[in-house]
Every structure is written in structure tokens, then in C-alpha cells.
Amino acid sequence: LRPASGRVVGRLLVVGCLLVASGLVTGCLPQPGTTQAQAADTLYWIAMGFAALVGVIVYGLMTFAILRYRRRRTNDDGEPPQTSGSRVLEALWTVGPLVIVTILMGATLVTLDTIAGRRADGGAQIGAINLHVTGFRWGWRFEFPDAGVVVQADLEPGPTIELPVGRPVTVTLDSADVIHSFYVPQFLYKRDAFPDRVNIFTLTIAAPGTYGGVCAEFCGLYHARMPFTIVGVSDADFDAWLADQRAGAGATGSPAP
């Protein structure tokens, strides 16, 4: 390398390292808002850890080879020693990735189970709140069947519902027309809403707060205009909110989508 291009490569390496480091420090995911999101967040960091390990090894070896075996003025006699076939190396790069992929697969399956929130026998969790979510063009319908409460709205600002912090909510998701997708960025979770079958998953709000959601499956002209809001509140506030909704149900009288 000529000195000038060496300096350029050096600068690129520094910029690359800074980008990777800042990505690792800040993370690429929103703050998790549910216990299931915390599980997804943990899985992300496990995957990032292995990716960083592999990256350090690969870029370390590359940098070593570039520096150690670069062409020098004093040593211009062609190629470095050529080696072919190494049982140890081949075993290492076969077993290493196999171990990593197996760990990642195991961790993924455990996380998926946490997110689905299923009991071993496939039933819903005991004490869970049932919530039936229906996407439609262009809004959302949230039904609490056990409480006889329906909250529904279309376009902006869309419906707002409250959920109690720390209690599992079993969500049954479907659609009244085309395919929509239930997406709350802070839940680190997105699931399609189908007209002809249901998706079931569990949410447990981890901390009080306001969580905005959108439709994440292009469903038509006003796809971008079907937001909804989920507010995490205390158990007592949730019960009071449900009672309020029940009292006001006759006044709003939302028709089926």
C-alpha cells in the first residue's frame, strides 16, 4: 500500500469501529414495554454477542493478515508460505458455528414460547385478561369479552385502551376484511391479523406508560391512518376504566366493523 491509501484505509477502519461501537452501546431496539418484549430484547443481545465475537475474530484475522503479510520493499520475493489442509482448523470452523447456531436456535425457541405465552397444555394463562383485537379498514376494534366492553375507532387518533401493568393479556387477533398487522414498536412484536383465522399471543405490560401502535401490513388507501394506543395503568385504574367504558357503551354504540 502507498502511504496515502494506507491513511485512507486507517480512517475507514476507525470510522467502522466507531459505528459498530455506537450501535452496540445504543442498541437498535426501542425500550421493551412488555415482559415478552424483554425476552425478545435478551435474545437480540445474545445474537449480538455472538455476532460481535465472530466479527472480532474475522476482522482481527483480516487485519493481522493485511498488516503482517503486506508487500514490503525489503521482502519482494512473491507469495508468503502456502498451507493446505488443516484438521484442527476445519474442525474449529465446523464445530464453532454449529455450537453458535444450536445455542441461538434454543434461545429463539424458548423466547417464542415466552411470547406466545402458552401453557404446556396449550391453554391460556390462568388469570389472564381476554382481549379480542380485530383490524378493519381503517381502524381497530378492541373487545374485552369477559367485561362486555368494546372500544372501536378508525383513522386518527384511533382507539385508546388501557391495560393493567403486570397482568398477562391473552390477545386473540383477527381481521374483518383484508390482512392487517398488529404492531406496537415498544412491544418488539408484530403479528398479522387475518380474516379467516386467529392469531393468539400474550402481552404483559412491564411498566406504566403510553404505547402507540400502527397497522404494519399494507391494507389499502388509508393503511397509514389506523393508529391505536395502549396505556399501561394500575389494576385499580384498569377496573375503573372498564366500568367507565361499560357505563358509556350505550352512548357510543360502536357498530360491528
Binding site for Cu ion (CB under 5 A): 180, 215, 219, 223
Q: For residue 37, with 0-12 CB atoms within 10 Å meaning exposed, 13-18 middle and 19 or more buried, which class applies?
A: buried
Full DSSP string of 80-113: PPP----HHHHHHHHHHHHHHHHHHHHHHHHHHH
* Length of the chain in terms of residues written: 257
CB nearer to Cu ion: give 192 or 239. 192
Distance of alpha carbon 195 from alpha carbon 179, whole angstroms:
6
And the C-alpha cell for 137? 379498514
Nearest distance in Å: CB 137, Cu ion: 7
Residue 83 C-beta: closest distance to Cu ion, Å: 58
For residue 221, give the DSSP letter.
T
Cβ at position 145, least distance to Cu ion in Å? 23
CB of 135 to Cu ion, least distance (A): 6
Closer to Cu ion at the Cβ: 128 or 193?
193
Rounded to the nearest whole angstrom, what is the least distance from the CB of residue 99 to Cu ion in the complex?
42
C-alpha cell recorded at residue 127 = 388469570
Give whichever of 167 and 190 is closer to Cu ion, judged by the CB atom.
190
Minimum distance, C-beta of residue 217 to Cu ion, in the bound complex (Å): 6
Give whichever of 100 and 176 is closer to Cu ion, judged by the CB atom. Answer: 176
Distance CA 146, CA 138 (A): 26
- Cβ at position 33, least distance to Cu ion in Å: 21
Walk across the sheet containing 189-193 and list its strands.
160-164, 228-233, 209-215, 180-184, 189-193
Using CA atoms, how far residue 205 sits from 47, 70, 177, 231, in Å, is 24, 56, 28, 9
> Strand runs (DSSP E) across the chain, as ranges?
129-136, 139-144, 149-154, 160-164, 169-175, 180-184, 189-193, 199-203, 209-215, 228-233
Q: What is the CB neighbour count within 10 angstroms for residue 29?
A: 14
Residue number, 132 or 223, with CB nearest to Cu ion: 223
Q: Residue 203 or residue 219: which is nearer to Cu ion going by CB?
A: 219
Which cell numbers hold the place of 79? 507469495
By beta-carbon proximity to Cu ion, the closer residue of 134 and 245 is 134
